[in-house]
Structure 1
Amino acid sequence: MFSTLKNHPFAVESHFKSSLVFTFAVPKEQLQDKIPECLTLDTFKDTHAFIAVAMVQTEDLRPKGFPKFMGNNFFLIGYRVFVRYTTKEGKKLRGLYILKSETDSKKMQFMGNIFTHYQYTTTDIKQEETATTSSISSLKSDFLVTVKKNNKAEVPLPINSPFADFKEARRFAGPLPFTFTYTKEKKEVLIIEGVRQNWKPQAIEAIDYNFKFLKEQNLENAVLANVFEIKNIPYYWKKGRIEVWK
């Protein structure tokens, strides 16, 4: 019974006050062993695969249909790999495979670990604003990002980004429509579909960044590919569905 509860047994809705995503391009061979056998890497020009860090301020997260006053506000950090999955019917889905999830809320850690497989841990989060910059940091998780506030239509792509322009970069901006979890013993794929509105990612210029977790992955030749922010997005996740792989 308890294992079944982890399979996203009901739809969940929330409001993303902000979501800041740093996406790193890595030679595809570096990420192949980070994903389960049922998934393939979502690559660019069959050369680069991508790992992203999403820092999300959520508001009013609750079972879908419940009143807002029953929702909860907290900060989420997700480390995800861009992947593809082919269903039994042959439909090809683009999505994310989660490597690590963190939150600043003990309640979210407790509830998230009952109803998902994401293995949440709690950490400290500090947010700072100046007239021209925004920063998010954590002492416990040892990460720091500082970005310029977006006050112009276009900003430059990060140096060494594999993308030629932001049209290419937006394909790997996230969030993607699907998130996947895999139970190897049962060969079961759990598919969670997200539904978003008013999705208009804005390119952001990074001033500084450091993620201890990414350094621990021993990724060679990883480069910052893009940085995007979305604000004020209604979002919900459908009830998870399971299919047996092969």
Structure 2
Amino acid sequence: MPIPFVLASQSPARLATLRAAGVDPEVIVSDVDEDAALAHAREAHLASGLGELAFDDSVLVLAQAKAEVVADGYETQALVLGCDSMLEIDGEILGKPGDPATAIARWQTMRGRVGVLHTGHWIVDDRPGGSGATVGATASTTVRFADLSDDEIEAYVATGEPLHVAGAFTVDSLGGPYVESIDGDYHAVVGVSLPLLRHLLGACGVAFHELWRDSVRG
């Protein structure tokens, strides 16, 4: 039997990535108020004299909040993984655009340029007799975008795909042709870094293969 594992995210791409790696997590979506969680973290960071909260720390704050809310608010008794992603370009964050006009404007900014996709990961070990660990880290990957024409941008946005994903793009679906190259972990751009997840599981005393579904095991 695999070790119980919960994904605290509604991202289909994260779920598909984990399933392709042999893991079938239970999905429990957190109800975290992301704006409030970030505002609180930023205030605490400034009050401690550490200055502004960095983008790679911001995604970690949200990943931790999601994992902890699910671990504390549900009878999980499992390893709980929370994730969050943000795209950084020129010192600014481009999150989920939410509407077509914003998505078009984002792509007009992104085309032909390079950004950094930050994906925070946080695990809470909520298992009875488990390690009790709560650990996290961020994977940051450089992404070079194609120089799209206005027609290409409008056609892509019209599919609806860019509206509800960080940075208004995917690399594993319709947005794939518009990503020229990646420097770093491909899976982190999709939504969950499998190598980083392996390291975080190790900090909980768990090997990645212990999450594999029974049909994968030899």
Alignment TM-score > 0.5, same fold: no
Task: Give me the TM-score of the superposition, normalised by structure 1.
Answer: 0.25
Higher fraction of strand: 1
Q: RCO (CA 8 Å, sep 6+): is it higher in 1 or 2? A: 1
TM-score for both structures, normalised by structure 2: 0.27
Bigger helix fraction: 2
